Structure 1
Amino acid sequence: MLEIVFLGGGGGRWESITQVKGTGGFRIHSEDMNMHVDPGTGALVRMNQLEINPWKTDAIITTHCHPDHYTDAECLVEAMTKGMTKKQGILIGNNSVLNGNSKFEKGISTYHQSRVGERHILSPDDELNVKKWKLTATKTKHNDPETIGFKVETDDGVIGYTSDSEYIDSLIEDFDSVDFLIANVIRVKGQKVPGHMCSNDIIEIVNSMNKTPKMLTMYHMGMKMTDPDSEARYISKNIDIPVIPAKIGLKITMENKNCKFDYIKY
């Protein structure tokens, strides 16, 4: 059994500033692995609210070099390495976060990167074994051109995460047959915006798959997504699977490829 715990459901600069929906990323917890995905602004505060121990972090993955995806990563590295006293843990990122590029300075310092046990830079289609999990980086189209999503295969099912991307055909193939899909949907139906998806985009992607997910979570919702529950119902009606909008404390439990959801009270 594994659990996916959301430290918010918001995305974009306005949500990072206001923290209305929370931008702390999400955690994947299993018996022998605790991974933090995209620890953006407020990740440590939300973990404290939900009574999640940051010291129990085995891996961190940052998909691109935007603040709502990496700003708390250095603090998580410090927790993962027991206050930088032990060289341990796994740090995974795209090139811009870990090296920087012509558009972005690196998001995690050389010093912090030097203290982890393993450091991996992934590009689309790269594969990586993370203990018992197999992680495959996926393609995107976003403002950071080196952004990655990923698919992770576990004993309890396959999890897909689109990260930030506008609609591209490869999203259909990359996430076909995953058991649980986390889709970054920043805008409501009919409000397309460069580099991101709106509700219509994820509907088209899921309906084009040969085998659809068992459950989908809307994540990285922007300030203009004022009624996520209503938008989730609209998407669910059009793809015929449960759609759950991410909120602080949303917990997805996966076991034997089946998904159910609950909320951590705080």
Structure 2
Amino acid sequence: MNDDAPPRRIWLCADDYGMAEGVNRAIRDLISRGRLNATSVMVVGAAIGRTEVAALQEVAASSPRCAIGLHATLTAPFRPLTMYFRPLDGGLFLPFPKLLRAGLLRRLDPGLIEDELSAQFAAFKELFGRAPDFVDGHQHAQLFPQVRDAFLRAVKEAAPTAWVRQGGRLQPLARRLGAPKALVLDVLSAQFRKRATASGLAFNPAFAGAYDFSKAFDFGELMGDFLDGLPDSGLVMCHPGFVDETLESLDPLTTQRESEHAFLAGDRFPTLLAANKVTLG
């Protein structure tokens, strides 16, 4: 590492604000500590409303600038805002493997997806009084075939100055092959970047943060790997939260969220950032 090089300024984004009150509290706590500089809001979540939005706006305003984005949601166990959205599974969005499969088989209706995303943009604007700073997707659905074109059209219409999240990495091939989940995101993101460029939309140059949530990991060690080689303006995704009944009913990612919060709130994290010459810009 070049000791004379300026610090790399990255985005550390907490996903899922609005999913559950415990998730919201953890994210606000980290913003207040200056340990996050972005969060994406799920407007179809179980814990989103005027009170939760006001609390986020207040803490973001009192800390170094924190970007607030839309966490576009198209997968179960959440429900669409548009009454005519299809396909559904028991009144809910499809689980993400089914949505990805349907996109690969060209069985989705991009017009319905674009209408649903437009409704989510309108809900965000109603809550926050403005368009989002950036837009990403729950379970990376914005990268899926057919979804990505509808997603980019909706962003271009509702938030043309927002940047969008791509999920590709800038690492040697040997390292990328060792992480199957991240490799899938690399493949999906290649076409997404081409289409975003053609649409005139900005995106993060590199991405990190994907790991196997079913296994026990030291999140500090994972974060060190995420930061290694991440370029200026690169993005690390995280999912801090406190476990509550709502979270347990909606998402399998529970105790790992508390582990992420504990590391990001603790003393090891700023030390790790300094050792890697990284700052949250």
Q: State the TM-score, normalized to the length of structure 1.
A: 0.37
When Rg is computed on C-alpha atoms for both structures, the one with the higher figure is: 2
TM-score by length of 2: 0.36
Larger strand share, 1 or 2: 1
Normalized per residue, the structure richer in helix is: 2
